[in-house]
Structure 1
Amino acid sequence: MRLLVRKKIFAANHDSNGGETLYGLTRSSRWLLRDSEPSLAPMVLMENHPWLVAPWHCFSHCVKEGGIAFKMAHGQEIWDFALQNPELNKLFNDGMACTSRIISRAIVSGYKDGFSSIGSLVDVGGGIGEMMSEIMKSYPHIKGINFDLPHVISTAPKYNGISHVHGDMFQAVPQADAVIMKLPSINTRDRRKIPARLDTPSRPQADAVIMKILKNCKKAIPKKTGKVIIVEVVLQPDSNELFDETGLALDLAILAHTTGKERTEPEWKKILEEGGFPRYNIIDIPAFPSIIEAFHE
């Protein structure tokens, strides 16, 4: 408990009469309460489940031999494993949903002008629809489409004004005025079995995956007025701002569980240009990711 108090996870209250030390919550530990609003408990439970911890112990083997850490730990990639294991599917969906609720509020408050002119919006890899639901609360005029894999959509609750559509983002994306993707480095997967080596600095396979999705998004939106809204970390390795360390830690978690990666702005610029989006804006919001607004031309 002393370490947790030092890290400000808990507060210590010492009895003035020399009695027992009592411990209380801080702003940090309140995020861990299941019944708190907002709560990060589902994400913490997901990341600390033995299934998600095991791949971290495979990093040294991946460096020496190549391969995907999660697959090395469990014999298959996380998306196939979740398809066959409803418990992991629920853990992952609940974990992503709780972060969606938090990030979505930051998106709505930080991107007000961006949503006002959109008539229809598709959330690619939208999970069970939490982010789209939050957006629709503030912008009910938008026709919302929540798009994800069939086994994910099958567990999604009903929301007013939102259509749940299942499919494969590597094949096609539903037509809309705009596309939004939250944390695509985490959510995306390609069925091509390409090994991702830890000792490949740029992890080019991950770039190819994102570019493939971007090209399908480009086909789904109007050429002149359409846009892709990417809610993702833009790494600042040498910065000491509030969320910079979070982005680097998330990059490691992605490496443990998928073939993805987080990126710096120059890396994003390269991917966007090669994916067909030569013009973009980066918009800071009050959360660890930023909004990358990308346009056809």
Structure 2
Amino acid sequence: MERTELDEARLQGQAEIWRYMFSFADSMALKSAVELRIADIIYSYGGAATLSQIASCINDGLTSPDITTLARIMRLLVRRKIFTIHHPSDGRDSLYNLTHSSRWLLHDSEQSLAPMVLMENHPWQMAPWHYFSQCVKEGGDAFKKAHGCEIWDLASRNPDFNKLFNDGLACTSKVVTSAILSGYKQGFNSIGSLVDVGGGTGGLISEIIKVYPHIKCVNFDLPHVVSTAPAYNGVSHIGGDMFLAIPNTDAIIMKWILHDWDDEDCIKILKNCKKAIPKENGKVIIIEIILKEDGSGVFDEIGFILDLAMIAHTNGKERTEVEWKKILEGGGFFHYKIINIPSLLSIIEAYPDDK
């Protein structure tokens, strides 16, 4: 490599380190936009609003918004293509517009990621990321190192964190549920009863029963979780522990559950699943990320980022197909098939016996 090319490569390398060093600025700017409801404000103006209009809606009557700070945050978010900006030729104030990205930040939208943005970027959730090097050196749970307890324990005794956590998961459930219902249409037809293991406040199972009212549906999670779940027609909420026993049923569905646990715990859960379903025609529907080492799909890179989130928040991990096969067989499921859906997640349909 010639000297000029080497110098350019080193300069590019330096620029990339600066960018990664401050990459948290993107998520903090995004979080502030959600907290200030900027996307909602722009939407209320028909999809285009001036900076002054945005600021006027932020004003709560007690404080006066700093419009210069707002402009600087919006400048970065425009550069990141979260919003766009239009400069009218007649000299009027510039207009900020929504994009396909910022429409996912609308609080009242049927499908919104706003609660997840707030949850993942809350100081409670961010603190464990600072313990990665310590986890490498000595092992252990990053969340426990940061807070002195596991994430589930904090949720059970802190109502504010429990709500933040459940709201975040509920919004992602809505997003994923539409993909499941569109991509797994034939999968529910032959099921008489279905238990959503780790179903949270029942978002997924309540949508399934709307489309498949013939199914007897149970939402199963820890008692402190189901105690806050709303009532849904045709859905029974049952509190319990999936490590001890799971209610008997024709089929089990688990969305984003097994990635929270290590292989040994996943095998325990799957063995309890096997006990709960019939040997003939029983199945477990697992909805998870399947990592692809060299994947170039629209969501493939996010999978590896979420794998690090598992280090931060749980003792689990995202898995490749080979790794999924290992724990499925360990739990007594020797046959499975993968069904791709329009989502970050895929469906793994697993059976207790060869079919």
Q: TM-score, normalised by structure 2?
A: 0.77
**Cα distance in 1, alignment partners of residues 175 and 349 from structure 2:** 20
Query: Which residue matches 2:25?
Result: none
Equivalent residue for 1:43?
116
Q: Which residue of 2 aligns with 1:126?
A: 199
Which residue of structure 1 aligns with residue 277 of structure 2? 221
* 1:207-239, Cα deviation, whole Å (9 max, x unpaired): 111111000000000001100000000011211
Deviations 1:83-128 (A, max 9, x none): 1100111111111111111111111111111100000000000000
For structure 1, list consecutive stretches of 5 or more residues without a partner in the other structure.
190-205
Deviation at 1:65, TM superposition (A): 2.1
1:124–1:179: 8 Å Cα contact kept in structure 2? yes
> Hey, what's the Cα distance between the residues in 2 that align with 1:185 and 1:254?
11
1:176 to partner: Cα distance: 0.2
The residue number in structure 2 matching 1:253 is: 309
Structure 2 SS opposite 1:156: coil
CA distance in 1, matches of 2:160, 2:279: 41
How many angstroms apart in 2 are the aligned matches of 1:254 and 1:2?
Answer: 32
* Residue of structure 1 equivalent to 2:79: 6
CA contact (8 A) 1:145 1:163 kept: yes
Count of residues paired in the alignment: 280
Residues 1:83 and 2:139 aligned together: no
Which deviates more from structure 2 when the two are superposed, residues 29-38 or residues 257-266?
A: 29-38
Q: Give the partner amino acid of 1:92.
A: F
Moved over 6 A (4+): none
Question: What pairs up with 1:127-166 in 2 under 5 angstroms?
Answer: 127-166=200-239
SS state at 1:113 partner: coil
State the 1:17 CA deviation.
4.0
CA distance in 2, matches of 1:34, 1:58: 32
SS of alignment partner, residue 76 of structure 1? coil
**1:122, 1:179 within 8 Å by CA — same for their partners in 2?**
yes
Q: State which of 296, 320, 326 in structure 2 corresponds to 1:270.
A: 326
User: 2: distance between equivalents of 1:180 and 1:19?
Assistant: 54
Partner of 1:237: 293
Q: Which has the larger share of helix? A: 2
Map 1:9-20 → 2, pairs under 5 A? 9-18=82-91, 20=93
Asked whether the 8 Å contact 1:279–1:296 carries over to 2, the reply is: yes
| Letter matched to residue 13 of structure 1 | H
Name the CA distance, whole Å, in 2 between partners of 1:6 and 1:252: 26
SS in 2 for 1:151: helix
Q: Is 1:111 equivalent to 2:167 in the alignment?
A: no
Q: TM-score by structure 1 length?
A: 0.91
Matched with 1:183 is 256
Question: Could you say what secondary structure the match of 2:186 adopts?
Answer: helix
Please report the RMSD computed on the Cα atoms of aligned residues, expressed in angstroms.
Answer: 1.2
- Give, in whole Å, the separation in 2 of the partners of 1:84 and 1:107: 32
Q: Which residue in 1 is equivalent to 2:342?
A: 286
Unmatched segments (≥5 aa) in structure 2 = 1-73
Q: Percent identity?
A: 67
Q: Is the 8 A contact 1:144 1:162 kept in 2?
A: yes
Q: Give the letter aligned to residue 160 of structure 1.
A: N
Q: Which has the higher contact order (CA 8 A, sep 6+)?
A: 1
Tell me how far apart the structure 2 counterparts of residues 167 and 290 of structure 1 sit (CA, whole Å). Answer: 26
CA contact (8 A) 1:185 1:254 kept: no
1:110/1:286 contact within 8 Å kept: yes
Which of these residues, 11, 32, 37, is aligned with residue 105 of structure 2?
A: 32
Q: Aligned equivalents of 1:28 and 1:37: distance in 2? A: 15
